[in-house]
Chains A and B, each alone.
Chain A
Amino acid sequence: MSDATTPVLELRNVSKVYTIRQGLFAERKSLRAIDDVSLKVERGGVLGLVGESGCGKSTLAKILLGLETPTTGEVLIDGEPVGAQDRRKLARRIQPIFQDPYSSLNPRKSIADIISLPLRVHGIGDAASQDKAVREILDIVGLPARVMNSYPSQMSGGQRQRVAIARALIMKPEIVICDEPTSALDVSVQSQILNLLGELRREFGLTYLFISHNLAVVEHLATRVAVMYLGRIVEEASVAGLFDHARHPYSQALLESVLTPDPALGVPDTQLGAAYPNPIAPPSGCHFHPRCPKALPQCSSVAPRPLTTADGRIECHLFDEEKAEPATA
């Protein structure tokens, strides 16, 4: 079924539409949280997913974890559609690490209980072998074995995030969905967790989907990057391609907003005038046109088609004219 060229994770034209009603007698409206997203992640790769809050990053993570079902389209793991697989089987292959290590660990359970829960749910091994597995994984994530009997409240933020990583890895998954794994941590702890994630990936050949609003962190860890805006992937490229030569005006604005610690530079002017649009009533044409400093007349009426570039994909009218060049390259 799978071979070296099959992406370990693939989304084909995935959309997620929520129906919402604002008030008792109000008309039902639909909110397109994910709009026709197609993505591929190669085995051992790290796909960084960036975009502002409300763009659909976390909904996409939920779909991959099987916590939400797509309205249309399909998710494939190793070429097999996820819908056809048992949720339990899926959980063995994909595990999450969430943002806030304070709310994602049960405060009433000991660390050993928290980490071994996946083994007990799946009925893997007996108590002794589960205990051994917990000790091994604690060692791998850099925690001393004595924390097994501690409770989350006795641990620091960085230690808790290590516990969350241990819980995710104890099932030996292939894919780890990291949803803002370091944004709640101090910088000195953040670098430790990033180094650990890098090491684990090399050691166990893990594949990551890395969701973050911190572009410097994404640039550091990812191999490919997808930029999301209002449920659509507006640009997708290799890390070098995106960070060295961002093409989409939105990607460029995101990159300009990154504050590198250089006192010679002031605060950038991103020229993203208007605020993030209301996803219930998205702007016509290209969703980004009201904020785009380079908008063309057709941007407000015609939605741009996805174009293949040498390095990935882009959705922007600015590249329509030179379509022949990048599409055939």
Chain B
Amino acid sequence: MTETRDPILSVRNLTLDIPVGGGTLHAVRGIDFDLARGETLCIVGESGSGKSLTSLAIMGLLAPRIERRADRLEFDGVDLLKAGPRKMRSLRGNRMSMIFQEPMTSLNPAYTIGDQLTEALLLHRNVGKKAARDRAVELLEKVGITAAASRLGQFPHQLSGGLRQRVMIAMALMCEPELIIADEPTTALDVTIQAQILRLLVDLQREMNVAMILITHDLGVVARVADKVAVMYAGELVETGPAGAVFGQPTHPYTRGLLRCIPVPGKTERGAELGTIPGIVPSLVGDVSGCPFRTRCEEAVAACRGAIPLRHRSDDAHAFRCVHETGMATAEVSA
């Protein structure tokens, strides 16, 4: 929401509408963010909040029926709103690449690891097969796969979940991208493997100075990996800011509610009642106005039905959308 110097990715007022039976589903409504080289932005939210759609919108992978509008959608000076399918193909897998959640379904079971790893490089760069295979071996070693050369002839089903996700990461890095979008990259993995894969991602990202968007529902992952955090609820970014600020001074009632829901070892008393967020996510079909969280919010007042101002904490980079100046009703009107 605040300007980032020399952003590699700049998003302003991104809006995604999906036509459904009863009208239009306003899945994403006017989100803004910037991302600089070498920076990690974590988008955190629950299922249906629109985080995965946002990443697909950047990659130009939305279903044709979804309408994408924005005031700005720029990747390193390239206007993605105007880029045609040909231009997008030349960017995807090349300068921007994606790591998906399910390494089993996103790898093709009928092709070898080697074929799938070298495909993007052979397509985008003027290299021979030998050079492409060498690069594949180099990257497999980099992502911590032993006996890398012999893996090239293997098929995805011969690898474990952790290994497949390492292959996905190696694949995303083949063309030395400038932007990586990782959508729940560790959700399907064991905790031990999750820590290893996240560490690998963070190390590689620092080493190669890549910008990364990591999409997750796990606040623990966010806190450990993010430079910047964007909390998404029902298609809107309700709170954004540096990780330290958002976790140190969570301000939006939804962010505070989420943090109360998770048991934190060493902090939450064992067996004590956990915080909850009552109610359910509102329908986004038809007219959506006011704060989307007001139906579940403890601090809700009548003004929450109207326009919601964007506010800043003392740290200018830390912003939230709430009618209350501090995110709390406190001495103001009580609901």
Contacts and interface: CB of A to CB of B under 8 A. Distances in A.
Contact of B195 (A190, A220, A256, A263): A256
Contact of A220 (B199, B218, B220, B268): B268
A321 interface: no
Nearest to B254: A188
Given A186-B47, A254-B191, A217 B276 contact: no
Q: Chain B's interface: helix, strand, loop or mixed, by majority?
A: helix
A259 interface: yes
Contacts of B277: 188
B271 interface: yes
Given A239-B270, A270-B192, A261 B223 contact: yes
Interface string A181-200: 00000111011101100100
Interface string A42-62: 000000000011000000000
B271 A198 contact: yes
A320 B263 CA distance: 35
B133 to A, nearest CB: 23
Interface residues of A, number: 44
B222 interface: yes
A157 B273 CA distance: 21
A221 B161 CA distance: 28
A198 B198 CA distance: 32
Contacts of B267: 260
A219 interface: yes
A213 B257 contact: no
Interface in A203-236: 213-217, 219-221
B312 to A, nearest CB: 19
B25 interface: no
Nearest to A256: B195
A275 B163 contact: yes
B192 A219 contact: no
B222 A216 contact: no
B265 A258 contact: yes
Interface of A: 52-53, 156-157, 186-188, 190-192, 194-195, 198, 213-217, 219-221, 239-240, 243, 253-254, 256-270, 272, 275-276
27 contacts: A52-B192, A52-B193, A156-B280, A157-B47, A186-B46, A187-B219, A188-B257, A213-B190, A215-B191, A216-B264, A217-B263, A254-B192, A256-B195, A258-B191, A258-B265, A259-B198, A259-B220, A259-B221, A260-B264, A261-B220, A263-B226, A263-B248, A264-B244, A267-B198, A268-B195, A269-B195, A272-B192
